[in-house]
Chain A
Amino acid sequence: MSAARALFLACLLLGSLLSATQAVAQVAAPGVSDREIVVGSILDLSGPAALLGAPVRDGMLLRFEDANAAGGVHGRKLRLVVEDAGYDPKRGVLAARKLLQRDQVFAFLANLGTPVVMATMPAIVDAGRLHLFPFSPHESTYSPLHPLKFQMFPPYQDYMEAATRHMVKSRGYSRACLLYQDDDYGLEVMKGVESGLAKLGQRLVERTAYKRGATDFSSQIARLRSARCDLVVLATVVRETVAAMTEARRNGWAVDMLVSASGYSSQTHELGGAAVEGLFGVSVLPLPYADGAPPRLAAWIGRYHKRFGADPNVWSVMGYVLADLFVRGAEQAGPELTTARFTAAMERLHTDGDFLGSPGYRFSPQDHLGSRQGRLAQIRNGRWVMLTDYLE
């Protein structure tokens, strides 16, 4: 009996000793050793957003492998640990716990999906880990200011307001309408479109919604047509963009349409063909077209294809660019990498556009959102062509 008790006490003692040393190590920098920096990412590789998750992961991997091939960041190799949450907040919480406790990651990069981000961000920030560039338009990912939260994707509301204003002003529309996905995404776009129109003294003439995963858009298009819209803003993703535009054109309705950055994809014209010619869209990062690419971009596309067996898309570019921002931040933070040093370095980080065509990202101690801008593009002859520079 007493032997068992002694053993129990010994275990207790050992346990507290271990956790104490662990705590000391954590203050130094979790996930950072002499040899490597461990970075975690909660993506969707099997759920409804798997079409985004896989290229984002591959883009990040490519950037990290590039950095490692060049000797790493101050001699440390970057290691990406990806967990699949399937767009499910419950699985997201489990994944976050695993990455926090077992993998001891230094930072979370590009966690995907607003429900997942909302469920996991508090625990991540409470554990003192960086929460960087999540795929969620939610304001809480960068505001109110928090030393651990940084965002690089412009919110739908900001760039859709600018794009709507630019479109209406330069092309003289007077009856703008909206087809939107009935969720946070659609509502954010709606806010942007409404505030853009309000600045020009206009209102939405008609709005109609669809549920995520809808297959048939005939009734929505019929509704918009009977409202005699002259511009239809689409808060849709690729498939719905093509379906809506095809439905309109099939019935002989040649109205102009403008889609948010979620519809700005090469798949839009690959799938839509002639029906989506002339579609306007907003781009926050340009698509990597192999055809006619400058040498550096062409080489990048070739390397991506060789490494992952698929052509890169706009999501791959996003993964690469956000991983690049992480690498730059970590480099600027110096050889003694800590969370506080990384935050300080990020707050000084200003980038200029790169060979992938990204906008310059500007972070500051007062603003952790790197960019608020998108640019206007249009599908001409089966590919997206940029019409403007990044819109203020």
Chain B
Amino acid sequence: MLRAMLTFIQVLLSGLAIGCVYGLVALSFVLVYKAADTVSFMQGELLMVGAFAVVVLQAAGWPLAAALTGGVAGAALLGAVLERTALRYTLGHSHLSAVLLTFGLGLMLRGGVTAVPAASHGMFVLPLPWADEVFRLGPLSLPGGQLLVMAITALVAAALSLFFRYSRSGLALRACAEDARSAALMGVPVARMHTLAWALGAALAALAGVLLAPITFVHLNMGFIALKAFPAAVLGGLTSLPGALAGGVFLGVVEALAGLVLPEGSKDVVPYLLLLAALLLFPAGFGARRTA
């Protein structure tokens, strides 16, 4: 009995950790969607590029903290540059053109990384502090990597909520998301806010990439996790930041527990079944009431 309980908690923890990563990527989806009214299909690639940037900076001799900051800031800069040079010109056109543009930019990012021989030959470890350690709590083993992911996700969520509630840019961004025209009339620099939203979205994706590194390592295909994060964002209603985070954690936990409790093979089906059920029962997502 105790054994079963322990196994349950252990699997639950794994689910929570991976759910946090889903949640962070889902946050980046929602952030872009709210501000720019576009579903970005390059978040997975931004995640991969961000993680690779940290690996490269560290290999170049930067200390870990500087490499992390540099990588995430670099991703933010990349997001901003892509907005200023390409995505901005889709404003006023059909939704599809922006969506397809993100898809194409994603392919270009991926192609760019593939062109580097070392990146196309292997996977890389990002030595985050505590990631390889295992803390013992009685008979329970708490992997440092998982604790780290949860802690950083909580910190990021708190920082984002402060940013959107109290900072001038955060408030302006929210105003743009509510109604860009009125915001412009009130003197909010809407174009600049768009740039900020894409930069933030890219930075969040890169951060998720860094946190994913201890779990899956840094490699070309790590961005595929966005395929799971997108349902999480939809589960949260696609417009609610807390909803996206909750959706991600929920998906991670359900997936892990389904693999343990339900018959073989259901692990990969259950999240999507739940997604279907949630869309039928709550068409606007769990977080809808907050923003509606």
- Residues on A facing B (Cβ under 8 Å): 45-46, 48, 50-51, 53-55, 58, 182, 207-211, 213-216, 218-220, 222-223, 225-226, 238-239, 242-243, 247, 250-252, 267, 270-271, 273, 308-311, 313
Contacts and interface: CB of A to CB of B under 8 A. Distances in A.
B114 to A, nearest CB: 5
Contact of A211 (B118, B143, B219, B268): B268
B252 to A, nearest CB: 8
Contacts of B128: none
Contact of A219 (B123, B217, B260): B260
Given A46-B110, A222-B260, A271-B125, 4 more contacts: A45-B120, A50-B120, A209-B265, A242-B217
A46 B220 CA distance: 9
Most buried by B among A55, A216, A270: A216
Nearest to A242: B217
B74 to A, nearest CB: 23
Contacts of A219: 11, 14, 256-260, 267
Contacts of B111: 46
Nearest to B7: A222
Interface residues of B, number: 43
A252 B141 contact: yes
B123 A239 contact: yes
B117 A308 contact: yes
A226 B3 CA distance: 9
B15 A216 contact: yes
A298 B168 CA distance: 61
Contacts of B14: 216, 218-219, 247
B264 interface: yes
B196 interface: no
**Majority SS at the chain B contact face:** helix
A298 to B, nearest CB: 19
Given A51-B219, A215-B216, A311 B121 contact: yes
Interface string B125-167: 1000000101000000101000000000000000000000000
B256 A273 contact: no
A215 B215 contact: yes
Contacts of B62: none
Given A267-B122, A310-B121, A239 B217 contact: yes
B117 A54 contact: yes
Nearest to A247: B14
Contacts of A208: 264
Nearest to A266: B122
Contacts of A58: 117
Contacts of B4: 226
Contacts of A51: 120-123, 219-220
B89 interface: no
A309 B134 CA distance: 36
A182 B110 CA distance: 26
29 contacts: A46-B111, A48-B224, A50-B220, A51-B121, A51-B123, A53-B120, A58-B117, A210-B267, A215-B18, A215-B212, A215-B225, A216-B14, A216-B15, A216-B215, A216-B256, A218-B10, A219-B11, A219-B14, A219-B256, A219-B257, A222-B11, A223-B259, A238-B123, A270-B122, A273-B132, A310-B121, A310-B122, A311-B121, A313-B121
B255 interface: yes
Contacts of B216: 215, 239, 243
Contacts of A225: 7
Contacts of B143: 250
Nearest to B134: A250
Most buried by A among B4, B125, B216, B255: B216
Contacts of B3: 226
Most buried by A among B122, B215, B217: B122
Interface in B1-40: 3-4, 7, 10-11, 13-15, 18
Contact of B123 (A48, A55, A267, A308): A267
Given A209-B265, A213-B224, A313-B122, A46 B114 contact: yes
B121 A55 contact: yes
Nearest to A222: B7
A227 B225 CA distance: 30
A250 B219 contact: no
Contacts of B255: 216
Contacts of B10: 218, 222, 251
Contacts of A238: 123
A225 B260 CA distance: 11
B90 interface: no
Nearest to A217: B14
Contacts of A46: 110-111, 114
Nearest to A84: B114
B221 interface: yes
Nearest to B144: A250
Contacts of A211: 268
B215 A309 contact: no
Interface string B81-114: 0000000000000000000000000000011001
Contact of A271 (B123, B212, B221): B123
A147 B255 CA distance: 49
Most buried by A among B11, B18, B121: B121
Nearest to B22: A215
Contacts of A213: 221, 224
Interface in B213-269: 215-217, 219-221, 224-225, 252, 255-260, 264-265, 267-268
